Amino acid sequence: MLSRRNLLGGAAAVATATVSKVAMATLPEPVLQTRPDTMPPLLPPTGRPYNPVVTLNGWTLPWRMNQGVKEFHLVAEPVVREMTPGFKAHLWGYNGQSPGPTIEVVEGDRVRIFVTNRLAEHTSIHWHGQRLPNGMDGVTGLTQPGIPPGKTFVYEFVARRPGTFMYHPHADEMVQMAMGMMGFWVTHPRTKHPLIDEVDRDFCFLLGSYDIDPGSYTPKIMTMLDFNLWAWNSRIFPGIDSLNVRHNDRVRLRIGNLTMTNHPIHLHGHEFLVTGTDGGPTPKSTRQYEVTADIAVGQMRQLEFLADEEGDWAFHCHKSHHTMNAMGHNVPTMIGVDHSGVVRKITGLIPDYMVMGERGMADMAEMEMPLPDNTAPMMSGQGPFGSVEMGGMFSVVKVRKDQKPGDYSDPGWFKHPPGTVAYEFNGTLPEPARFQAEGQGSMPRQGRPGTQAEVKVRKPSGGHAGH
């Protein structure tokens, strides 16, 4: 999270020092960032001006100007990423982090990127969505040889069109992307663009997925579908920072998907327009208001909305399994099963034995489970009213009247005006009126009227039981 200390001691300050020190060298000194905090936007110290983005739990890579060329230095290397407090993953990334730093340039900029490989195998970088000379496209074997371990390659091209892009390896892709190698790229428009609006806050992040067994540190790279960690910028809730905005701000959210499934990203309390893709800004005639945008594999979307409702608004993937963190093993559905007798027998043998979810899974969020070291809780995050019971791809957009322009710090929980929070009804409940035609005609009701609906559940034995 942002604080004044971060503003003074962040990546930008490091960059100022390093750029002056190596200004004469042939290779820009790499800038590293190992903290998972959301760093403040990097106001461009040189080159054409633009309104910078904020990378969720990430940062923007500083550059140096060398005779009119913007020079960046990316270092591909193993990193330790804290995915949420108490849970660290051993990933591969760039410049100390997974994902790598965001690269921000301006339409028309000539860009030179030095890529140093500190991995044990070759790599390359593909600049997803860019118009560039074919030989700069970064496809190992097709447009260049892989960058061998210990070597540095140079990519150079002009950022020809404004938009929302990303970068990732095109070498041993299955492994290197499963290990977290990816980064965001934003090309800002050079002048006022008819299809690109000015916004007050511009956030970006990449969707990623990992398969890391509870208690272990390294992703299983052979997994194709059954991932157990669903991440925004290699962070999982409650490790994902909130998106803090001022009331009536125009807000842009730039999202790219480098997982192997689609993610319907859903915002509460507001409607947004999809204003752009990695193909560029969308024509205005194609825009429609939505509250969920599906972001397919390999796609990028720009969502824009007016933050005109104060509050703490949930913002998450709408696939419920993607707002959960890893479970230790496959758990049968226990809803409706009375297994108290079984538990009593087992606890005689195993004192710590615990049964999951006979009322649902919400109990999981509050139980004090003995977890192996380095395990993210399955569903957690304390809100002002208790556990939020979420994990994975979940965060909160905090809209506040008193959030200062340019202030990205967390304002704390929303203070609801009196009488605006859902409350308990304490009167007497009337008997529900039953629909008289129920179960008549061609669909006669089975059993006695008023019979409870059946709850079918799978018992641990694998059989079925009614209740």
Q: How far, in Å, are 198, 300, 367, 462 from residue 192 at the CA level?
A: 9, 22, 54, 63
Residue span binding Cu ion (CB under 5 A) among the ranges 6-14, 117-125, 196-204, 309-317: 309-317
Within residues 95-124, the interface with Cu ion by CB under 5 A covers none
The closest alpha carbon to 109, from 78, 63, 177, belongs to 63
CB 317, min distance to Cu ion, A:
3
Which of 12, 317 has the CB closer to Cu ion? 317
Within residues 132-161, the interface with Cu ion by CB under 5 A covers none
Which of 64, 263 has the CB closer to Cu ion? 263
Binding to Cu ion by residue 73, rule CB under 5 A?
no
CB 230, min distance to Cu ion, A:
6
CB 391, min distance to Cu ion, A:
12
Which of 321, 416 has the CB closer to Cu ion? 321
Residue span binding Cu ion (CB under 5 A) among the ranges 43-51, 180-188, 321-329, 433-441: 321-329
Stretch 217-256: interaction string toward Cu ion, x if CB under 5 A: ----------------------------------------
The footprint of Cu ion on this chain (CB under 5 A) covers a number of residues equal to: 4
The closest alpha carbon to 389, from 432, 360, 413, 352, belongs to 360
Residue span binding Cu ion (CB under 5 A) among the ranges 27-35, 124-132, 158-166, 313-321: 313-321
Q: Which two tokens stand for residue 214?
A: 């509870």
CB 262, min distance to Cu ion, A:
7
Which of 43, 297 has the CB closer to Cu ion? 297
The closest alpha carbon to 178, from 240, 235, 220, 135, belongs to 220
Contact with Cu ion (CB under 5 A): which of 254, 263, 316, 400? Answer: 263
Binding to Cu ion by residue 319, rule CB under 5 A?
yes
- 433-440 long-range contacts (CB < 8 A, ≥24 apart) are none
Are the beta carbons of 441 and 447 closer than 8 angstroms?
no
Would you call 301 helix, strand, or coil by DSSP?
strand
Bond prior to 99 in cis (omega within 30° of 0): yes
Which of 37, 294 has the CB closer to Cu ion? 294
Which phi and psi angles does 49 have, rounded to 5°? -75, 155
CB 408, min distance to Cu ion, A:
25
Contact with Cu ion (CB under 5 A): which of 300, 317, 364, 399? Answer: 317
CB 238, min distance to Cu ion, A:
17
Would you call 74 helix, strand, or coil by DSSP?
strand
Are the beta carbons of 272 and 293 closer than 8 angstroms?
yes
Distance between alpha carbon 80 and the CA centroid of its chain, in Å? 17
CB 303, min distance to Cu ion, A:
15
Are the beta carbons of 334 and 355 closer than 8 angstroms?
yes
Residue span binding Cu ion (CB under 5 A) among the ranges 220-228, 260-268, 327-335, 382-390: 260-268
Contact with Cu ion (CB under 5 A): which of 322, 381, 397, 411? Answer: 322
Residue span binding Cu ion (CB under 5 A) among the ranges 83-91, 107-115, 317-325, 399-407: 317-325
Pairing of strands 54-55, 201-210: parallel
Distance between alpha carbon 22 and the CA centroid of its chain, in Å? 34
Bond prior to 238 in cis (omega within 30° of 0): yes
Are the beta carbons of 137 and 143 closer than 8 angstroms?
yes
CB 24, min distance to Cu ion, A:
47
CB 229, min distance to Cu ion, A:
12
CA distance 137 to 101: 19
Are the beta carbons of 297 and 261 closer than 8 angstroms?
yes
Contact footprint for Cu ion (CB under 5 A): 263, 317, 319, 322
